[in-house]
């Protein structure tokens, strides 16, 4: 049987799993739903900001909005004094409506549409320029509007030379030459790396600090660098993750399914704000002092754009078991939603942390053995399973039980949701603890 992979749960989540509210919401909403926990978001934001405070580094946290479409997190970001990283007109509009000020936005993404650039310039947003032609369009746009555009130049990372994002060295030189005297004000440089490597981020950050000196020598202001996102989230315990890796076999999955995309690293020993702390403490390649000291000495501000890490423990997804079918040695559960509410299948992979079974009826007593089951969707597609892995449940799942996928706020819950099969999109319910109970409201209240 497959190894158990219990998901870490924050205090709000643990409280809710034992609270009648989950079944009540399932009954009231009549289908699957997402729970959003803004208090966890606030705690993560505070932890990131504290790292800047304690290191004496002038820093700024921008919440990467693409990680979740909810309004509440952008609202919390505005209140907490975070900026927001947006990459489309829709995201920009949502951030402004949530109360984020235009000059607290950073606009990222490749080849940004003119409409996006225009609103960004008018709002005084910081714009991460990804290519020379985009720089020219931005300059023309700012000129027409009679404004100055605030820009960072996004750098192609030498450690990820096949990335489609960023300017290569020769383009950077051209960009620096073009910016002088233009309608574009160069505030610094940026990158965003795939993966979670701390050292790669510190090394490249140091390169960007040196680029700031080079730009300043040309008379450009260049006083900020953005190292993007990619601060890991720790979903499961290290020992469980190791046991899973060592014992994993095709027969642990329905239909012996294999995943070409491999699996996301669900365990990370250094995660969230601690990963930022580690980046700052790292002595970059070719340098003699930690990154934090380089930034302080050079008077360069550090911008970070965490998405997933700000959403750690900030939400989960609830389905109801609609059917249970017995197969040889395991059960096939069918829940009332689809795998589109868990995004990992985009990557030919699946979301591995064990969902939690919340029984409809109180337990008769502890069960001695485990009850493996995979989890299928309420659709007619053979391949639409939320979990192919035969999860070892502590009790036999029954119709009416809830199946709760924990820690889904970062990218899992809504990045590829669709009303396929005319199934409604799961509503988002914001839940906050008060002194004696949980209060809830819809993320987007009925108008």
- Picking from 204, 198, 205, 153, the residue whose alpha carbon sits closest to that of residue 175 is 153
* DSSP 8-class letter at 225: E
CB of 205 to ligand PLP, least distance (A): 14
Of 26, 38, 188, 228, the one binding ligand PLP by CB under 6 A: 228
What character string, x for contact with ligand PLP (CB under 6 A) and - otherwise, covers 393-412? --------------------
Cβ-proximal residues to 416 (8 Å cutoff; 6+ apart), any chain: 340, 343, 346
| Residue 192 makes contact with ligand PLP by CB under 6 A | yes
CB of 230 to ligand PLP, least distance (A): 4
Angle at which helix 132-145 crosses helix 169-179, to 10 degrees, equals 20
Residues paired with 59 in a beta bridge: 302
Question: Site residues for ligand PLP, window 242-281 (CB under 6 A)?
Answer: none
Collapsing DSSP states into helix, strand and coil, what is residue 19?
coil
CB of 407 to ligand PLP, least distance (A): 13
Q: d(Cα 70, Cα 65) in Å, to the nearest integer?
A: 9
End-to-end CA distance of the chain: 49
- Cα dist. 238→241, 244, 315, 404, 405 in Å? 5, 10, 22, 22, 19
| Residue 307 makes contact with ligand PLP by CB under 6 A | yes
For CA atoms 92, 97, 100, 103, the dihedral sign is positive
| Residue 166 makes contact with ligand PLP by CB under 6 A | no
For CA atoms 296, 307, 228, 291, the dihedral sign is positive
Q: d(Cα 225, Cα 342) in Å, to the nearest integer?
A: 33
User: In this structure, are residues 108 and 153 in contact, taking their beta carbons and an 8 Å threshold?
Assistant: no
Residues paired with 126 in a beta bridge: 106, 150
The continuous run of DSSP H or E covering 288 comes out as: none
| Residue 85 makes contact with ligand PLP by CB under 6 A | yes
Nearer to ligand PLP, 227 or 373 (CB): 227
CB of 33 to ligand PLP, least distance (A): 23
Cβ-proximal residues to 144 (8 Å cutoff; 6+ apart), any chain: none
Residue showing the smallest CB distance to ligand PLP in the complex: 229
CB of 188 to ligand PLP, least distance (A): 14
* DSSP 8-class letter at 399: T
> Which spans in 56-197 are helix H?
71-80, 89-97, 114-122, 132-145, 169-179
CB of 107 to ligand PLP, least distance (A): 10
Nearer to ligand PLP, 228 or 392 (CB): 228
Considering only 143-151, 249-257, 302-310, 332-340, which stretch makes contact with ligand PLP by CB under 6 A? 302-310
How many residues bind ligand PLP, per CB under 6 A? Answer: 15
Of 60, 69, 254, 308, the one binding ligand PLP by CB under 6 A: 308
CB of 267 to ligand PLP, least distance (A): 16
Nearer to ligand PLP, 231 or 266 (CB): 231
| Residue 83 makes contact with ligand PLP by CB under 6 A | no
Residues across the chain: 447
| Residue 306 makes contact with ligand PLP by CB under 6 A | yes
Of 32, 157, 229, 337, the one binding ligand PLP by CB under 6 A: 229
| Residue 67 makes contact with ligand PLP by CB under 6 A | yes
CB of 64 to ligand PLP, least distance (A): 3
CB of 131 to ligand PLP, least distance (A): 14
What character string, x for contact with ligand PLP (CB under 6 A) and - otherwise, covers 92-121? ----------------x-------------
Of 64, 82, 276, 377, the one binding ligand PLP by CB under 6 A: 64
Footprint on this chain of ligand PLP (rule: CB under 6 A): 64, 66-67, 85, 108, 192, 228-231, 305-309
């Amino acid at each position: 049987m497959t190894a158990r992979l219990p998901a870490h749960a924050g205090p709000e989540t643990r409280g809710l799993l034992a609270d009648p509210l989950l079944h009540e919401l399932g009954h009231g909403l009549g289908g699957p739903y997402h729970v959003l926990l803004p208090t966890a978001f606030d705690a993560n934001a505070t932890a990131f900001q504290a790292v800047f405070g304690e290191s004496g580094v002038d820093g700024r946290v921008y919440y990467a909005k693409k990680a979740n479409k909810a309004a509440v997190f952008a609202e919390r970001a505005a209140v907490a004094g975070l900026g927001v990283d947006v990459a489309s007109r829709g995201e920009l509009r949502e951030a402004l409506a949530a109360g984020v000020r235009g000059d607290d936005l950073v606009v990222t993404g490749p080849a940004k549409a003119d409409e996006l650039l225009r609103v960004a310039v008018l709002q005084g947003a910081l714009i991460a320029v990804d290519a020379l032609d985009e720089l020219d369009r931005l300059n023309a746009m700012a000129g027409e509007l009679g404004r100055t555009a605030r820009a960072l130049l996004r750098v192609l990372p030498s450690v990820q030379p096949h990335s489609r994002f960023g300017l290569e060295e020769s383009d950077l030189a051209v960009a620096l030459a073009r910016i002088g005297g233009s309608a574009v004000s160069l505030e610094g440089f940026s990158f965003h790396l795939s993966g979670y490597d701390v050292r790669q981020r510190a090394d490249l950050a140091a390169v960007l600090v040196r680029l700031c000196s080079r730009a300043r020598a040309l008379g450009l202001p260049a006083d900020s660098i953005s190292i993007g996102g990619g601060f890991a989230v720790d979903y499961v315990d290290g020992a469980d993750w190791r046991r899973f890796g060592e014992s994993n076999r095709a027969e642990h999955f329905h239909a012996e399914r294999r995943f070409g995309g491999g699996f996301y690293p669900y365990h990370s020993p250094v995660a969230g704000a601690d990963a930022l702390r580690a980046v700052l403490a790292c002595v970059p390649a070719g340098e003699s002092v930690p990154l934090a000291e380089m930034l302080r000495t050079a008077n360069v501000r550090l911008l970070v754009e965490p998405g997933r890490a700000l959403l750690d423990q900030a939400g989960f997804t609830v389905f109801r078991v609609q059917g249970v079918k017995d197969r040889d040695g395991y059960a096939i559960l069918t829940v009332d939603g689809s795998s589109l509410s868990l995004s990992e299948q985009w990557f030919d992979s699946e979301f591995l942390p064990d969902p939690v079974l919340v029984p409809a009826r109180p337990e008769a007593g502890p069960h001695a053995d485990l009850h493996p089951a995979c989890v299928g969707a309420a659709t007619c597609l053979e391949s639409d399973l939320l979990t192919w892995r035969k999860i070892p449940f502590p009790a036999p799942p029954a119709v009416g039980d809830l199946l709760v996928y924990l820690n889904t706020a970062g990218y899992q819950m809504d990045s590829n949701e669709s009303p396929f099969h005319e199934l409604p999109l799961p509503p988002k319910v914001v839940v906050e603890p008060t002194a004696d109970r949980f209060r809830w409201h819809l993320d987007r209240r009925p108008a």
